[in-house]
Amino acid sequence: MNPCAAVADPVGVDAVDAHRIGGGSTSAIFEVELADGDVVVAKALAAELPGATDAEVAGLRWLAEPAVAAVPAVRGHDDLWLVLDYVEPGHPTPDAAERLGRELAALHASGAPAHGAPPTGGPVRAWIGRAPMHNATTTGWPEFYAEHRVRPYLRRATASGVLDQAEATVVARAADAIPEVAGPAEPPARLHGDLWSGNVQYGRNGRAWLLDPAAHGGHRETDLAMLALFGAPHLDRVLAAYHEVAPLPDGWAERVPLHQLFPLLVHAVLFGRSYAGQAVRAARDVLALRR
């Protein structure tokens, strides 16, 4: 794996130095110095995730299109490599968190063609981490979320034995209840789609940058619920600023487990029983919304 050579091809410039700065099960990430002194980030995506580079490029460009949120520019890409602007790391501050909340509200309001719509030019079959994700256009969010997010991963978790039959029954009942508990109908929002705190990088310029999207048209509460799933710095400030710009409908806080059910099922399938209990608890919380 030679990030210097990889940058020279899609970007068309020479690279003189590179060192690894991150990555996980889906990628290796390198900071690369170019011959002219500029610095970029080169991301090598796993070869066993076909179309992942195209999906990420389309997602980044779609999120950047309204020019209301901070998204690193795509310098170049090929089937395995993605080259982006470098964001100098900073620290999460209350002011930056509040700005993130306002920018997310504006990003969501920029809209999408339909619930389940992929980004412009993006594939229908995409990825969330190492998990396949089907972006299928539907007329309403409850149908999309039940049929193309929750039920596919319920089937995978059941077939693999991650969920036992009793647990699977609880999740299936929660999927059936989605139209009843989804809250007021909303127009499709332009979503990041995988907005856990690790995909938000606070830069030294006082902004929070959006990375590694699983972008699609969906419900705006989904991005906010993802921020809460594993904890995010100054989440209270993010949410308060969001509400100032675009208040959420009544009951949004009680619906957080509904929007977390899909990523928890994905984690259960990818990482095993340690997430199964959380997914089932979220499903029980969804069922409690009917009362």
Catalytic amino acids?
Answer: 194
The neighbouring-strand residues paired with 29 are 22, 43
- Give, as one character, the DSSP assignment of residue 148: I
Q: Which two tokens stand for residue 233?
A: 């710095």
**Residue 188 to residue 71: CA distance in whole angstroms:** 20
The H or E element containing residue 154 is helix 151-159
Provide the token pair at 242.
């969001």
Token digits for 93? 């501050």
> Whose CA is closest to 122, among 70, 69, 193?
193
User: Other C-beta atoms within 10 Å of 55: how many?
Assistant: 28
Is 238:232 a contact under the CB 8 Å cutoff?
Answer: yes
73 DSSP assignment:
P
Q: Do 270 and 134 touch, CB atoms closer than 8 A?
A: no
Nearest to 108 by CA among 250, 255, 246: 246
CA atoms within 13 A on the CB side of 104: 34
| Rounded-to-10 torsion of CA 280, 281, 287, 290 | -170
